[in-house]
Amino acid sequence: MRKIKEVIVVEGRYDKNTIAQAVEASVVTLGGFSVFNDREKLAFLRRLAQKQGLIVLTDSDGAGFVIRNYLKGALPKECVKQAYIPDIFGKERRKRAPGKEGKLGVEGMRPEVLVEALRRAGATFLDESGEVAAEKEPITKADLFELGLTGRPDSAGRRQALLEHLELPRHLTTNGLLEALNLLYGRADFLNFAGNWSNL
């Protein structure tokens, strides 16, 4: 099992159990929305972020994004990475019915999907060479505009098609999409990919 340096932050204990089957890492649970009123937990997360780095891994539904966006404003941005699971519809085995949006949460993901989500987020795998990757030239909002992903009448539909193609959550805002693209690609690679993607 692969070890990860950063602390992984998840919504609840079932998510934590699932992560433990995919990677070896420190995992902190938020207790869902209760983190909004838990100053001690936030202070603890800030300390962990500065000491070890954090990876936020919430569900891809609306509630998961409310929690993720709250943490983005409450934690030091330079110490926090964002991991996204794909939109997969279904229900977890322990539940009688699917969630409100019908999507599987972190708890319902296969280990290989979670490992890939963590890899895309830039997780530090301790069993790898340890060499620091060269800084990538970032993708910018101007690039998204040039590709028709912002600022045009059909941009929202094009963004949705791209999110679906890349298996990223549909709830991602334009800024969230930009952040996710910069985790996945360097600018040159993305522009090459976009040029070859038939829908763009």
What is the model's pLDDT at position 141? 94
How high is the mean pLDDT of the chain?
Answer: 87
Question: 36-77 pLDDT, tens per residue?
Answer: 998 888 888 998 999 889 999 999 999 999 999 999 999 999
Q: Which domains does the chain have, with CATH numbers?
A: 2-121 (3.40.1360.10), 141-196 (no CATH)
What is the model's pLDDT at position 199? 52
What is the model's pLDDT at position 127? 65
pTM: 0.71
Task: List own/partner pairs for 143-151 with CB under 8 A and 24 or more apart.
Answer: 143/187, 143/190, 143/191, 144/174, 144/177, 144/178, 147/194, 147/200, 148/200, 149/174, 149/177, 150/174
Question: 17-34 pLDDT, tens per residue?
Answer: 999 999 999 999 999 899
Q: How would residue 132 be classed by pLDDT, with cut points 50, 70 and 90?
A: very low
Q: What is the mean pLDDT of residues 1-20?
A: 94
